[in-house]
Amino acid sequence: MGGAKLALGLERISQPGTTTIVVNVGDDFEHLGLRICPDIDTVLYTLGNLSDQERGWGRAEESWNFIENA
């Protein structure tokens, strides 16, 4: 979450459209045929004001319903 918070701070103080964010893909993996990109997800959720502040990762109010069907 630290990198995502840094990206958010840089985005807030920069001119619109001038920030480039490079995100780690070393932890990406495939699960049940889906590509999982935890660091990219965390940055996107943080910049979109959708991140779960309590856990420090994932989306706020995530339902996790997909696991029931796996």
Q: pTM of the entire structure?
A: 0.79
Q: Assess if residue 20 is contained within a domain.
A: yes
Residue 70 lies in a domain: no
Helices within 14-66 (DSSP H only) = 38-47
68 domain residue, yes or no: no
Tell how many helices (H) and how many strands (E) occur in the chain: 2, 2
What confidence tens digit (pLDDT) does each residue in 3-54 have? 899 999 999 999 998 999 999 999 999 998 989 999 999 999 999 999 998 8
17 occurs within a structural domain: yes
Domain count, the chain: 1
Asked if residue 41 is part of any domain, the answer here is yes
Whether 69 has a pLDDT exceeding 70, the answer reads: no
| Residue 21 domain-assigned (yes or no) | yes
The pLDDT score that the predictor gives to residue 67 is: 67
Whether residue 66 is contained in a domain is answered as no
- Asked if the structure places residue 69 within a domain, the reply is no
- Specify the 3-state DSSP secondary structure of 7: helix
Q: Which domain holds residue 51?
A: 2-60
